[in-house]
Amino acid sequence: MAKFRMIQTGFWNDPKVMEEMTPEDKFFFMYLLTNPQVTQNGIYRITKKQVAFETGFSVETVQLLFERFLNQHELIRYNAETRELAIKNWGKHNLGRGGKPMLDCIRKELEGVKDRSLIEYVGQEVSNESIRNLYASFCLKNDDTSTLRGQEEKEEEEEEEEEQPYALVFRFYEENIGVLNPFIAESIALWLEELSPEVVILAIKKALMKQKRWDYAEGILKKWSNHNLTTIQAIEAAETHFQKRQTRTSPTDLLERVKRGDFS
């Protein structure tokens, strides 16, 4: 599935980009910010051979670009053993909005980071306090890890009923559509306040069957909500009733009803 990353137009007006970067640097930096491996937390695994293949640069050129961004521009860090790359200002530009859905997404990704020093590196530039504290919680010394894990497990147990709906839908979205950005995460969270996870997932499934994405699924949810169809049973009953009426409805009237979301 395709993944989407938004880049602020101010990128091109940044003095460092305008005055210090070559055309190759600008293209390389844009690639680092938008390639398919990029995560929400600004730390991801990638090899230099993979970079060369996807950008069209030679391996030697990629090596030189890495050295420039590591030592001259000082905008990234790279662990050659774990193949993990961290973008310094990622949190400054992409993690301004907090909230539980966003924290859940970031926590899940941070758990998979092997080089914890990269978490500290990115976390220092995060402006949002709650997200910055989350990064900091992963930077504790190894002898404190067990205590931290125990605290997290206790918190998860206390909030299990609250977190489970988010986790179910977020996981289904990422497995079938792609990386969950903050805007969509917040939109899903709002729907989960009104409808069950099963209903939201059903809407996403119907969108996928049409080869559509979240905006299509949200349109389905709006129609169901407007018709007070808030359970799987009610939705299935309404669709069955609608299908039965197809045989008694002219094609023109049927099309108009579908457009209106009229299942009566």
The three-point CA angle 168-180-54 to 5° equals: 130
* The residue type at 85: L
Which tokens belong to 233? Answer: 């049973």
Tell me the CA distances in angstroms from 223 to 88, 197, 217, 259, one per residue in order. Answer: 43, 17, 10, 10
pLDDT in tens, 134-163: 999 988 644 444 444 555 555 555 544 444
147 and 168 co-located in one domain = no
With respect to residue 232, please indicate whether it lies within any of the assigned structural domains: no
On whether residue 66 sits in a domain, the answer given is yes
- The bridge status of strand 76-79 relative to strand 84-87 is antiparallel
Q: Would you say residue 259 lies in a domain? A: yes
User: Of 162, 224, 172, 219, which is closest to residue 195 (Cα–Cα)?
Assistant: 224
Tell me whether residue 231 is in a domain.
no
49, 73, 92: which is the final residue of a domain? 92
Q: What is the pLDDT of residues 60-77, one digit of tens each?
A: 899 999 999 999 999 999
Cα dist. 218→20, 42, 198 in Å? 44, 28, 14
Mean pLDDT computed over 41-56? 93
* Tally of CA atoms within 13 A in the half-sphere of 70 that contains its CB: 11
Last residue of a domain, one of 132, 158, 184: 158
* 104-120: pLDDT as tens digits: 888 999 999 999 999 99
Same domain for 145 and 209? no
Task: Write the CATH number for 42.
Answer: 1.10.10.10
Domains of the chain: total: 4
Whether 4 maps to a domain, the answer reads: no
Identify whether 2 is part of a domain: no
Note whether 85 and 19 are same-domain residues. Answer: yes
Are residues 203 and 148 part of one domain? no
Average pLDDT over residues 33-44: 91
Q: Which domain holds residue 154?
A: 97-158
* Judgement on whether residues 35 and 110 belong to the same structural domain of the protein: no
Strand 43-45 to 76-79 pairing:
unpaired
